[in-house]
Amino acid sequence: METKFTVALVQMAMSADSEENLGRALEKIRQAARAGAQVICLPELFRWPYFCQREDAALFDLAEPVPGETTRAISPLAAKLGVAVVVPVFERRSAGVYHNSAATIDADGQIAGLYRKMHIPDDPLYYEKFYFAPGDLGFQACTTRFGRIGTLICWDQWYPEAARLTALRGASILFYPTAIGYHPREKDTCGPAQRQAWETVQRGHAIANGVYVAAVNRVGHERPAGGEGLIFWGGSFLCDPLGTVIAQASPDKEETLLGTVDTKWLEEVRRGWPFLRDRRIDAYEGLQSRWLGEEKDSPQRAQRTRRKRKKVDR
Amino acid sequence: METKFTVALVQMAMSADSEENLGRALEKIRQAARAGAQVICLPELFRWPYFCQREDAALFDLAEPVPGETTRAISPLAAKLGVAVVVPVFERRSAGVYHNSAATIDADGQIAGLYRKMHIPDDPLYYEKFYFAPGDLGFQACTTRFGRIGTLICWDQWYPEAARLTALRGASILFYPTAIGYHPREKDTCGPAQRQAWETVQRGHAIANGVYVAAVNRVGHERPAGGEGLIFWGGSFLCDPLGTVIAQASPDKEETLLGTVDTKWLEEVRRGWPFLRDRRIDAYEGLQSRWLGEEKDSPQRAQRTRRKRKKVDR
C-alpha cells in the first residue's frame, strides 16, 4: 500500500429532485477522479434537501436499504474509475427502523464498510431523533484500496469519544459527512462563534488523535418545511494530524476540495507527540457514565481523600 | 452561590531561587486579589525552573509533602484575602513516590482538593516519567467558595478523556497549570504549528464539554541543564464554553489575566448545544483499550457485519 492517498471532499447544494442530486453527485465523483482523487466523500443525506426540518412520517418513504438504489448507482462508477466513495444514505432496515448511515464503497465497487450515525441530535429544525434510530454498529474504520479510513456523521463531530474510538481502530482519516447551518436570524449574531467552534472542535480531534480530519458540508438556503429554513454554512475542510487546515471551501459555493493523506507524516506527528502512549486507560471508566457530579465527592470520596491526605502527613 | 466568579491566570517566569519564586507568587496573588480575582491559578511547578530537562536523582530533594512548605505559605494568605488558589507542587508522598500535583486552597485557607497529574509525558528535555509517578486520585473537581473548578496539569491538556471526566464531575472551569515551550532550534519551523495545536485542542475541550478552560503557562528561556534549554511560550489564555478566547497573554512577558466565569452563560451554551444529552455511554467501552486496530474487524467482526447486512437485504 502506498503511504499517501488523495482524498476529495465534495461540498454540494441539494435540490428537491433526488434524481438530480444523485446525477450531480455521480458527475462530481467523475470530476474528482479525473483530478486524481482516490477516496471521495459526499455530504450527509446528499440525496435530499435536509428534510429533518419538520417531523413528517410520510418522509420515511425517502429511506432505502443498503445496498439499495444509491449504492447500486455509485458502486459501478467507483469500480470503473477505481476510486473509493463514502456514500451517505437515509437507510431503511425495516418498517420503523431507519438510520442516518454512510456506506463506504471500495474501488472494486464492493461495500467495504457501513456506519450508522451513533450520536443523534434533536434541535429546532434538526429533528433527527424523530427519523433516525441511534446506530448499533459502533465506531469503525475500514480498509479501502488506498488506506484505512473512518466515517462518522455530523453531530458525531462534537464528540471526542467518537473520534478517539475511530482513530483507535486504525483510521488515518476521519470523514464527517455533514449538514450544518445557521438559523437565519442567528447568522450574524451567534453564527461566527458557532462556525468557529465547529471547526475548532474537529481540528482538536485531529490533534488529540494524530489523524487527518475531513468535514464535508452542504451549502445553500433550504426551506423544505417553509419558514425561515436553514442556511448551510459550507466551509468544508481538511486538516492534518497537527490540526493545520490544508484546504477549506467557501461558505456558499459548490466546491470539491482535494488533499493528500500522508501516513508517514501521520506517524511522524505521533512520534513527536506520543499521546496514545500515555492514555490512562485504567482511569477512564467514568466515561461510560452520563454524569459523575458532585455527589460522588461525598461522603465516601471525601473521606477517602482525607484518609489519603492524612497518610501524606505521617 | 453567585452565578459569576472572577478568575486570575498568573503567567510567570521562574528564577533558580525557589524562595524568590514563592515570594513573587505571593505578591502576584495579592495583586490579583486587589484587582478582583476570586480564584487564582499559578503555573505548573512554579517553585522551580523546569528541572525535568535532565534526569538527576538529587533533584528529588526539591519535593515536599502536601500540606507542606508551599501550601502552608499560601493558605494563610488565601484566607486573609478570601481567595481560592490553585497551587502546583512537586509532591513527595514517600521515599521513591513523587507526583506532579496541584492543591486547591479554598478561601478559608483549607485544602479543598488535591490533584495528581494523571498523564505523564516523556520527551527530550521533558523527562517527567523519571520524576513523577502517575496520579492515583483520578479526575476530580472541587467546590470552592466561588464555584466548582477542575484542575488538570499540562500534558493532560492533550487528552479529551481528562477534560470530559473533569467536566462530568461538575467543574465550570478547567485549570491547566502548564510548562510548555519550544526547543530553540524548532521555534521558527515547528513552533507556530505546535503552539496553535496546543491552543486549539484545549479550546476543543471547552466546546465539547461546555466549560471554561484556563491554560496557565510560564515564560522565559530556561537552561537548568545547560545546552539549548527550552523557551516557554507563555500564551496563557482563558476561553468560554464556545471556545471563544476571552483573554490571552503575551508569549514572553509575565502577566496576570483576569476573566469572568459565568455559569449562566455556561448553561445557556449547554442548552443550545446539548452534547451531554446525546453521549453514547453504551458504546464507549473501547476507550479503556490501548488500541483497537484492524484485527478486530476480522474474522468475527467482519462476519457479524456480513450477517447484519444480509438481514438488511431480506
- At A247-285, the pLDDT tens digits run 999 999 999 999 999 999 999 999 999 999 999 999 999
Alpha helices, DSSP H, located in chain A: 18-34, 69-81, 128-131, 160-168, 191-209, 263-272, 300-313
Residue B313 predicted with pLDDT over 90: no
Kindly state the average pLDDT of the residues A41-70: 98
How distant is the Cα of B214 from the closest Cα of chain A, in angstroms?
Answer: 16
Q: Which of B165, B237, B270 to mutate to test the interface with A (most CBs of A within 10 A)?
A: B165
> Is the complex ipTM higher than 0.90?
yes
Please identify which residue in the block is written with the cell numbers 502577566: B255
- Asked whether the beta carbons of A281 and A241 are under 8 A apart, the reply is no
The predicted pLDDT at position A174 comes to 98
Judged by a CB distance cut-off of 8 A, whether residue A298 touches chain B is no
Kindly state the average pLDDT of the residues A49-75: 98
Judged by a CB distance cut-off of 8 A, whether residue B296 touches chain A is yes
How distant is the Cα of A272 from the closest Cα of chain B, in angstroms?
Answer: 8
The H helix count followed by the E strand count for chain A is 7, 15
**pTM of the entire predicted model:** 0.94
Residues 207-236 of B with CB under 8 A from A: 207-208
| Segment holding A101, helix H or strand E | strand A97-105
The predicted pLDDT at position A303 comes to 52
Pick A281's closest partner by Cβ from B91, B201, B290.
B290
pLDDT in tens, A136-155: 999 999 999 999 999 999 99
The predicted pLDDT at position A314 comes to 39
Do β-strands A111-116 and A173-177 pair in parallel, antiparallel, or remain unpaired?
unpaired
For chain A, list the domains and their CATH numbers: 4-272 (3.60.110.10), 281-314 (no CATH)
What CA–CA distance (Å, rounded) separates B209 from B139? Answer: 15
Kindly state the average pLDDT of the residues B211-229: 96
Query: Is B196 in Cβ contact with A279 (below 8 Å)?
Result: no
Averaged pLDDT score across all residues of chain B: 94
What CA–CA distance (Å, rounded) separates B251 from B154? Answer: 17
Q: Catalogue the active-site residues of A.
A: 44, 117, 154
Pick B287's closest partner by Cβ from A164, A203, A276.
A164
Do β-strands A181-182 and B141-143 pair in parallel, antiparallel, or remain unpaired?
unpaired
- Asked whether the beta carbons of B115 and B122 are under 8 A apart, the reply is no
Kindly state the average pLDDT of the residues A26-51: 98
How distant is the Cα of A172 from the closest Cα of chain B, in angstroms?
Answer: 11
Judged by a CB distance cut-off of 8 A, whether residue A95 touches chain B is no
Identify the band that residue A298 occupies on the pLDDT scale cut at 50, 70 and 90.
very low
Query: Is B208 in Cβ contact with A207 (below 8 Å)?
Result: no
- Asked whether the beta carbons of B229 and A271 are under 8 A apart, the reply is no
- Asked whether the beta carbons of B85 and B104 are under 8 A apart, the reply is yes
Give the least confident one: A3-7, A169-173, B110-114, B310-314. B310-314
Residue A101 predicted with pLDDT over 80: yes
**Residue A19, SS3 per DSSP:** helix
CA A272 to mean position of chain CA atoms: 27
Chain A residues inside the 8 Å CB shell of B168: 286, 289, 291-293
Judged by a CB distance cut-off of 8 A, whether residue A97 touches chain B is no
The rounded percent of chain A whose pLDDT value lies above 90 is 92
Query: Is A155 in Cβ contact with B243 (below 8 Å)?
Result: no
Judged by a CB distance cut-off of 8 A, whether residue B307 touches chain A is no
Neighbouring residues of A60: CB distance < 8 A, sequence distance ≥ 6: A92, A98, A131
Query: Is A289 in Cβ contact with B284 (below 8 Å)?
Result: no
Chain A residues inside the 8 Å CB shell of B279: 119, 159, 161, 290
Query: Is B66 in Cβ contact with A278 (below 8 Å)?
Result: no
Residue A121 predicted with pLDDT over 50: yes
**Residue A33, SS3 per DSSP:** helix
What CA–CA distance (Å, rounded) separates A5 from A26? Answer: 21
Query: Is A281 in Cβ contact with B243 (below 8 Å)?
Result: no
Smallest CA-to-CA distance from A145 within A102, A87, A105 is with A105
Judged by a CB distance cut-off of 8 A, whether residue A169 touches chain B is yes
Query: Is B170 in Cβ contact with A279 (below 8 Å)?
Result: no
Residues 51-90 of B with CB under 8 A from A: 65-67
pLDDT in tens, B172-199: 999 999 999 999 999 999 999 999 999 9
- Asked whether the beta carbons of A167 and A118 are under 8 A apart, the reply is no
How distant is the Cα of A34 from the closest Cα of chain B, in angstroms?
Answer: 30
Contacts by B72-80, CB closer than 8 A, 24 or more apart: B73/B22, B73/B26, B74/B25, B74/B26, B74/B29, B74/B105, B75/B105, B75/B109, B75/B110, B75/B111, B76/B109, B77/B26, B77/B29, B77/B30, B78/B29, B78/B105, B78/B106, B78/B107, B78/B108, B78/B109, B79/B107, B79/B108, B79/B109
Residues 9-38 of B with CB under 8 A from A: none
Which residues face B182 on adjacent strands?
B231
How distant is the Cα of A21 from the closest Cα of chain B, in angstroms?
Answer: 24
Q: Which of B151, B200, B203, B303 to mutate to test the interface with A (most CBs of A within 10 A)?
A: B200
DSSP type of residue A96: T
What CA–CA distance (Å, rounded) separates A156 from A178? Answer: 10
Query: Is A204 in Cβ contact with B160 (below 8 Å)?
Result: yes
Smallest CA-to-CA distance from B16 within B59, B70, B65 is with B59
Residue B312 predicted with pLDDT over 50: no
The predicted pLDDT at position A307 comes to 53
The predicted pLDDT at position B307 comes to 53
Residue B306 predicted with pLDDT over 90: no
